[in-house]
Structures are given as C-alpha cells and as structure tokens.
C-alpha cells in the first residue's frame, strides 16, 4: 500500500469519526438537552473514548458548535417544494411550515437547545452567530436565485429574517408546552403571503 493511499484512508477514517461525533452530539442535544449533554455521553454514543473525542475538539462547547454548524445546512428545505404549483410563485404558507418542520427535526431541536444555552453564555452566543448568519445568507441567496424576476435581496433577507425568527419562537413554545399555535401560524402565513404578493416576483425553480 502506497504512502498516499495510507494517508487517504487515515483522512477517511478521521472524517468518519468526526461525523459520528456530530451525529452523537445532535442526538444527545435533542434527547437530553444542553446541560445534560456531556462529552462522556457523546463519546459513548459515538462508540469512542473520551480521549479520542478530545483529540478532535478541546471542549463540549467547541464540539457542539462545530456539529451544529455542519448540520444546519441540512435544515434548508427543498426550494421546489416552496413553489405554488399553479401560480409558480413562492408559497408563503409552505415557507413558514417548512421552516417549522425543519426546526422540529433532530438537527433543528439541537439548534434550539444551543440557542437556549447561549442566552446565559456570551461565549456560546458569539460562537453561534456566524452559524445563524451563514444559514440565513444561504437561504436568502437560494431564494433570490430561485425567483425568476429581479428582486431586492434586502427585501428577501428581511422576509427570511421574519420567517426564521417567527418559526424559532413558534417551535420553542409548541415543543415546550405541547400545543399547536394554530391562530399564530395562520396569521404569519397570511403575512408572508402578503409580503410575497407585494413583491410581485414570480418564482420558477431553476435546474
């Protein structure tokens, strides 16, 4: 086996271990919450020792921020599913519902746990800010590219900000209280639809 082949295999094994840590981190966050998620619990779930975990990351916070940053990209819904089938315009109800559904997923719940913990940790809040900004910017860029007609990126960014913030609040309340905020969801869907209608920008998914 050549030196190059050995190096590639080592890199592949290292990446596979890192992904196992990410999976275990998000599962622990979603099931146990931030406070009860320990490096020991993560390492056990990932099938490795604490020493191996610390070979990758120096602290629990560093690992969890890295895991959330990596997996938050997977929360972005398929943009084609957000297009109204008849009018070929962005469907406000689907935009909001897709955002809430993403936040209810295991990765979404892990993200919510991190935001909750950041309320009392400025260091954690500072570490999470780039992740939130990156996720928002990626969604804005994707939506701007999806809409066929020229649009104001700032307007799209504002709408995405409203949707994400609202979806975060709705999801936190619904999950913590075991209820569904039907009236709130309906009002927000109407608001988003109204904002999209005002822009008058037809949307066509681009292959």
Nearest Cα to Cα of residue 168 among 121, 135, 207? 135
- pLDDT number for residue 203: 45
What is the rounded distance in angstroms from the CA atom of residue 15 to the CA atom of residue 9? 10
Give the dihedral of Cα atoms 104, 71, 123, 162; nearest 10 deg. Answer: -50
How wide is the angle at C-alpha 135 spanned by C-alphas 186 and 21, nearest 5°?
115
Sequence-distant (6+) residues with CB within 8 A of 77 are 98, 99, 101, 102
Each domain of the chain, given as residue ranges in start order, spans 3-67, 71-199
- pLDDT number for residue 143: 66
The structure tokens listed for 71 are: 């997996």
Residue written as tokens 């009002």?
187
CATH of domain 3-67: 1.10.10.60
- pLDDT number for residue 174: 92
Regions in the chain scoring below 50 on pLDDT: 201-207
């Amino acid at each position: 086996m050549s030196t190059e082949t050995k190096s590639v295999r080592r890199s592949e094994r290292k990446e596979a271990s890192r992904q196992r840590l990410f999976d275990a981190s998000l599962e622990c966050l979603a099931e146990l919450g931030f406070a009860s998620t320990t490096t020991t619990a993560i390492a056990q779930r990932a099938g490795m020792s604490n020493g191996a975990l610390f070979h990758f990351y120096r602290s629990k916070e560093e690992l969890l921020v890295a895991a959330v940053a990596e997996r938050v990209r997977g929360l972005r819904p398929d943009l084609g599913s957000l297009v109204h089938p008849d009018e070929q315009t962005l469907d406000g109800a689907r935009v909001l519902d897709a955002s809430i559904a993403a936040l209810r997923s295991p990765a979404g719940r892990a993200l919510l746990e991190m935001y909750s913990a950041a309320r009392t940790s400025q260091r954690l809040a500072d570490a999470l800010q780039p992740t939130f900004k990156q996720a928002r910017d990626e969604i804005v860029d994707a939506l701007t590219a999806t809409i066929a007609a020229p649009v104001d990126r700032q307007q799209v960014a504002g709408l995405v900000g409203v949707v994400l913030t609202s979806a975060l609040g709705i999801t936190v309340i619904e999950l913590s209280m075991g209820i569904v905020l039907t009236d709130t969801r309906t009002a927000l869907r109407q608001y988003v639809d109204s904002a999209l209608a005002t822009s008058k920008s037809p949307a066509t998914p681009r292959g």
